[in-house]
Amino acid sequence: ETGVTQTPRHLVMGMTNKKSLKCEQHLGHNAMYWYKQSAKKPLELMFVYSLEERVENNSVPSRFSPECPNSSHLFLHLHTLQPEDSALYLCASSQDLGQLGMNTEAFFGQGTRLTVV
């Protein structure tokens, strides 16, 4: 149990479908993140939320739409995806955004393995 739970674990969707990924953290953290992990590529930061406010949007296509209704929940809404969007989508949380020189480690969920067909 990592304290960060993601559902579903696996998702197969067509290019015209709409689906949502869910993330829930039970750690009392104030910051939450979405990362994309593709084979042979580094983890890519997609979105950052702090106290339910989006503070970072890393040039992500609009077919990915995040939502943070409260500090414990984070969603990633998906629509009209492309096959190249197939990847592992990881959610993470941390106590805060990180102070200079302080270890603010991120806790990751197990991810949603997304396949777009």
The residue ranges that bind another protein (CB under 8 A) are 2, 4, 31, 33, 40-45, 48, 55-56, 90, 94, 96-101, 103-111
Place of tokens 């939320």: 49
In the complex with another protein, which residue's Cβ is closer, 72 or 110? 110
Rounded to 5 degrees, φ, ψ at 83 are: -55, -35
Q: Which is nearer to another protein, 16 or 41 (CB)?
A: 41
What is the closest distance, in whole angstroms, from the C-beta atom of residue 27 to another protein in the complex?
A: 13
Q: Cα–Cα distance between 76 and 15 in angstroms, integer? A: 16
Phi, psi dihedrals of residue 72, rounded to the nearest 5°: -100, -15
Q: Which is nearer to another protein, 16 or 103 (CB)?
A: 103
